[in-house]
Amino acid sequence: MGDAAREIRRIAAELFDGKKIDVLIGFEKGSDGYRSRPVFVSSAAEAERLAWDATCSHNLAVYLPSLFRRGPQKKGAESAPPRVGVVAKACDMRSLIALAKEKQAPRESLFVIGVPCRGMIDARKLEAEVARAAGGVEVTALVDGEEAVSVETADGRALSFAREPLVHDACLECRFPVPRGADVMVEGHARPAGNNGDALLKEFAKLSETERWQKFQAEISRCIRCYACRQACPTCYCTECFAETNSPAWIGVTTELSDTMIFHIVRIFHQAGRCSECDACVRACPMGIDLRPFTKKIAADVREMFGFTPGFDLETPPPLLTFREDDQQGFITEPHRG
Amino acid sequence: MDKALLERKNLDALLVAIRKVAKLFAPARDGRDGETAFSPVESTAEIHLEPVNTRLSAKGLFFPQRETLMRFSGSALSDVTLPTGAFVVFGVRPCDARSLTWLDCVFIGGGQEDPYFQERRKSAVVIAMACDQPCASCFCTSVGGSPYGSEGADLLASATGKEGALLFEAHSDKGGEFLRTYADFFAAVDGDTLKERDERAAAAKRRMKALDCADLKEKLDAGIDSPLWDTLTKTCLGCGVCAYLCPVCHCFDITDEKRGAEGVRVRSWDSCQFPRFTLHASGHNPRPLKKARMRQRIMHKFSYAVETAGTVFCSGCGRCVRACPVNLDIRRILAAFKDLQ
Amino acid sequence: MSEAAMDQGWQPRIVAFLCNWCSYAGADLAGVSRMQYPPSIRVIRVPCSGRINPLFIASALQSGADGVLVSGCHPGDCHYLSGNLVARRKFALVKSLLAHVGIEPERVQFSWVSASEGGRFASLVEKVTEDVRKLGPQKKLAKVP
């Protein structure tokens, strides 16, 4: 998608030349010629590094809370918050709105460059395919086509792989591939919206209680407590996470299974009404844990119980900060009468 | 005999014989994304040696993620049970094997032996597997290693290309002992096989681009206040992926877990990249910023370790490069500093 | 329930988080009225059901509780006006998520009991105790050091 990359560079340069932003968070080419990595650029010259392709799968909103976190300010002498540009897919945008709603990043201090998304591919899957096809040869370029992704190798070969099988599973279920509310939109088309009928979640929910517990345990027992999921999540921004407090020490710090299961259950619960289902937690995990049957559950429950989907407007109060007189209470135990 | 040939048809039988007296760990499919992990295996069929390294290194077999150090009841300490049981680790890449010698520097020696780590090291035979297909993320030759390196290996196995036969070379007393114990499964090695092995080793080395790391320590020491530390580390998320997957990172935490008066003292992996890693009880944190933490990681590996252990603490395995959620590339940081004037 | 548990005379141990103004008072009323109910609950008094952090429930299960009961004022009657209304949303989500991952839903139950409902409280404990007894000892999240 060379056009999107060029557009992003052009807009970024304009913003810096017009002194509209102090820093811009985007993507640049990563290791080995085809991964992407997040990058902070602070000038029109540095903006030349910005890139955009099928491997830009990170959620850049994760960097926002720490940019705006400031210590106590002297009244009357408050420093102005930084003006931050950010390149955003739809999932990034929704996280950004959730953060603005929670006062972690003022919307007026952000300039959002929106990019419609065709679905991002898993760079690790691609790397494994290249390693299998061509050994450890270095890749020098990646071209993201409509149906296929091609790479050029250092020894002059061109390898082509079908695009869809490389796309992250979560992208296949994306309901909102076009960012809404960006300050400027880059041209391009998005993949068709749809969530596959929430097939993943339904498939999991159909299992028996024993099977669900076994699957949950099997996934979570892979966890090495590296916290990559938490650190990659834009809405996990607590400076002291419940998993690390020691008075009270809610859970142990090791990979003991009960502790680890509670870490994931509670972290996912904390995302209720805030999670944009961006898949950052799944992509960050070095152990390949699939958290989606659980993250999607909390998001689906908030939708069904409270009619709320995060990331679209700044006015609606977060669902756990409010209530309705007629909120469902079918779950309440009614004791039988004698 | 310090070299022997294992024909493919004898590999299964050898593994069965090993299993009779020891546990056997080797890279096996871990069921996800085609990746592999060191797992207990029973037969050759379960072993998968991929060009891409195992997810987690072999360090977990010697320095586990969670280790119970002792049990207590009230104020009485119960017996500390040290890990026992002979085991063989097969298929360790030279980068991981080399790292074991560095873990030895940390956990054994200097008059202070970690009994848990030491027991496991004593109980294990490490059979390394040479690399013929180094990956793009590998950089062992930039840090003094090699795809056919033997440091840390009791035995180095390599594929001969002769119908799946493996050449075994002993590099320690334990390795020699192993070949003697299982001599029935091995055949003699001829000069041609050795010549081919040298050619393969050279070819594998040639496939790798080496970063010139001469003067790196001096450049890093001189650049301690460089603004590069800020610009190169801005995107770090502060998770533990690099430290946990690294074959040589060894920071740990010790905590007590109790229920009533019964409890255990456990050791678990820790990472200097966690924002609260250096948080003091007073509330002061000497490394409050990302740049300070990443700087410490690089300095520890490429400067301080050289002073204290005489070697860099990086084997070039590339796991941090592949697995870092934001693709923060250690090679980029090294390249930026080695070019610093 | 396992034979072993029955043989050893296992009794369910249930941690009950009761809000001070309604449910705790209701439990108290059951007591002074000499109403009998199973001695399975261990009461933890909280100012309001809104004080309940899902980590309390997780912690109780980790400590080996066979069941957890949370009870507050009826919606509309909260001493702090809306604590239980905000809590109601949290409780619904927690119950759903725990059940989803395979924790038996009968182990973690939520109810409303007012200060004047001693009889209702006793019946509630009867019901929850029976539900948990049928499931046997809780092993899924119990942590043994």
Show the tokens assigned to C5.
């548990």
Q: State the pLDDT at residue C7.
A: 57
Report whether pLDDT(A126) > 90.
no
* B102 within a domain of the structure (yes/no): yes
B83 in contact with chain C, both atoms CB, cutoff 8 A: no
Cβ–Cβ gap A213/C124 under 8 Å: no
A169 in contact with chain B, both atoms CB, cutoff 8 A: no
A42-45 contacts at long range (C-beta below 8 A, 24 or more positions apart)? A42/A16, A43/A16, A44/A12, A44/A13, A44/A16, A44/A17
DSSP designation for B302: I
Task: Specify the pairing of strand B23-29 against strand B87-92.
Answer: parallel
Could you tell me if B128 and B191 lie in one domain? yes
Cβ–Cβ gap A332/C96 under 8 Å: no
Q: Helix crossing, C83-101 with A257-270: angle to 10°?
A: 130
**Minimum mean pLDDT range among A280-284, B1-5, B6-10, B183-187:** B1-5
For B37, the closest chain A residue by CA position comes to A287
Element (H, E) at B87: strand B87-92
Query: pLDDT band at B30, cuts 50/70/90?
Result: confident
Q: Helix crossing, C23-32 with C118-135: angle to 10°?
A: 100
Query: pLDDT band at B39, cuts 50/70/90?
Result: very high
A12 in contact with chain C, both atoms CB, cutoff 8 A: no
* B71 within a domain of the structure (yes/no): no
Euclidean distance between CA atoms A331 and B32, whole angstroms: 37
Q: State the pLDDT at residue A235.
A: 97
Mean pLDDT along residues A104-126: 92
Mean pLDDT along residues B104-115: 89
Could you tell me if B199 and B256 lie in one domain? no
Q: Which residues of A touch B325 (CB under 8 A)?
A: 58, 228, 231-232, 280, 283-284
B234 in contact with chain A, both atoms CB, cutoff 8 A: yes
Euclidean distance between CA atoms B193 and A122, whole angstroms: 41
Show the tokens assigned to C56.
């309390």
Among B206, B227, B250, which residue terminates a domain?
Answer: B206
Do B32 and B60 touch, CB atoms closer than 8 A? no
Q: Whole-angstrom distance between the N-terminal and C-terminal Cα of chain A?
A: 70
Q: Whole-angstrom distance between the N-terminal and C-terminal Cα of chain C?
A: 24
* B198 within a domain of the structure (yes/no): yes
Euclidean distance between CA atoms B152 and B171, whole angstroms: 8
Cβ–Cβ gap C123/A250 under 8 Å: no
Report whether pLDDT(A2) > 70.
no
pLDDT in tens, B46-60: 999 988 899 999 999
Could you tell me if B99 and B131 lie in one domain? yes
Which residues lie below 8 Å from residue A15, measured CB to CB, with a gap of 6+? A21, A24, A85, A111
pLDDT in tens, A174-185: 999 999 999 999
Task: Name the B residues in 254-313 with CB < 8 Å from any C CB.
Answer: 257-259, 262-264
Euclidean distance between CA atoms A82 and A62, whole angstroms: 16
Report whether pLDDT(A320) > 50.
yes
pLDDT in tens, A230-241: 999 999 999 999
* B70 within a domain of the structure (yes/no): no
Do A71 and A32 touch, CB atoms closer than 8 A? no
**What's the gap in Å between the CA of C136 and the closest CA on chain A?**
15
For C144, the closest chain B residue by CA position comes to B259
Could you tell me if B180 and B228 lie in one domain? no
Could you tell me if B200 and B312 lie in one domain? no
- Domains detected in chain C: 15-135 (3.40.50)
Euclidean distance between CA atoms B109 and B127, whole angstroms: 23
Euclidean distance between CA atoms B219 and B225, whole angstroms: 11
- pLDDT more than 90, % of chain B: 84
Could you tell me if B296 and B324 lie in one domain? yes
Do B138 and A136 touch, CB atoms closer than 8 A? yes
- Total domains in the fold of chain B: 2
Could you tell me if B243 and B191 lie in one domain? no
**Which residue among A226, A283, A288 sits closest to B240, beta carbon to beta carbon?**
A226
Cβ–Cβ gap C95/A334 under 8 Å: no
Could you tell me if B239 and B199 lie in one domain? no
pLDDT in tens, B257-271: 988 889 999 999 999
Query: pLDDT band at B137, cuts 50/70/90?
Result: confident
Euclidean distance between CA atoms C88 and C112, whole angstroms: 10
Do B177 and B126 touch, CB atoms closer than 8 A? no
Cβ–Cβ gap C58/A327 under 8 Å: no
**Which residue among C63, C64, C145 sits closest to B263, beta carbon to beta carbon?**
C145
A68 in contact with chain B, both atoms CB, cutoff 8 A: no
Mean pLDDT along residues A187-215: 91
Report whether pLDDT(B1) > 60.
no
How large is the ipTM? 0.94
Mean pLDDT along residues A70-97: 93
Q: Which residues of B touch C63 (CB under 8 A)?
A: 259
Q: Which residues of B touch C144 (CB under 8 A)?
A: 259
Cβ–Cβ gap C124/A335 under 8 Å: yes
Query: pLDDT band at A78, cuts 50/70/90?
Result: confident
* B67 within a domain of the structure (yes/no): no
Q: Which residues of C touch A205 (CB under 8 A)?
A: 100
**Which residue among A32, A132, A231 sits closest to B238, beta carbon to beta carbon?**
A231
* B320 within a domain of the structure (yes/no): yes
Report whether pLDDT(C5) > 60.
no
Sheet order of strands, C108-112 included: C41-46, C14-19, C67-72, C108-112
pLDDT in tens, A35-53: 899 999 999 999 999 999 8
**What's the gap in Å between the CA of B319 and the closest CA on chain A?**
10
Cβ–Cβ gap C92/A331 under 8 Å: yes
Query: pLDDT band at A308, cuts 50/70/90?
Result: very high
Query: pLDDT band at B31, cuts 50/70/90?
Result: confident
- pLDDT more than 70, % of chain A: 98
Domain span at B235? 216-338
Report whether pLDDT(B72) > 50.
yes
pLDDT in tens, B181-227: 999 999 999 999 999 999 999 999 998 888 888 889 999 999 999 99
Radius of gyration of chain B (CA): 21
Report whether pLDDT(B340) > 80.
no
Report whether pLDDT(A338) > 50.
no
Report whether pLDDT(B148) > 50.
yes
Euclidean distance between CA atoms B305 and A314, whole angstroms: 51
Cβ–Cβ gap C127/A302 under 8 Å: no
Q: State the pLDDT at residue A321.
A: 94
Q: Which residues of C touch A333 (CB under 8 A)?
A: 109-111, 124, 127-128
Among B167, B182, B206, which residue terminates a domain?
Answer: B206
Task: Name the B residues in 273-312 with CB < 8 Å from any A CB.
Answer: 274-276
Could you tell me if B263 and B283 lie in one domain? yes
Q: State the pLDDT at residue A173.
A: 87
Could you tell me if B127 and B172 lie in one domain? yes
Among B206, B240, B255, which residue terminates a domain?
Answer: B206
Burial of C105 (0-12, 13-18, 19+ CB in 10 A): middle
Could you tell me if B128 and B265 lie in one domain? no
Neighbouring chains of A at 3+ CB pairs under 8 Å are B, C
Please tell me whether residue C115 adopts helix, strand or coil conformation. Answer: coil
Give bridge partners of residue C78 from the DSSP assignment.
C81
**Minimum mean pLDDT range among A57-71, A305-319, B27-41, B285-299:** B27-41
Q: Which residue has the higher pLDDT, A53 or A112?
A: A112
For B263, the closest chain C residue by CA position comes to C145
Could you tell me if B136 and B11 lie in one domain? yes
Q: Which residues of B touch A124 (CB under 8 A)?
A: 33, 322
Which residues lie below 8 Å from residue A122, measured CB to CB, with a gap of 6+? A57, A166, A167, A168, A283, B33
* B74 within a domain of the structure (yes/no): no
Query: pLDDT band at C70, cuts 50/70/90?
Result: very high
Cβ–Cβ gap B136/A39 under 8 Å: no
Q: State the pLDDT at residue A127.
A: 79
* B68 within a domain of the structure (yes/no): no
Average pLDDT, chain A: 92
Mean pLDDT along residues B317-332: 94
Q: State the pLDDT at residue B73.
A: 92
- pLDDT more than 70, % of chain B: 99
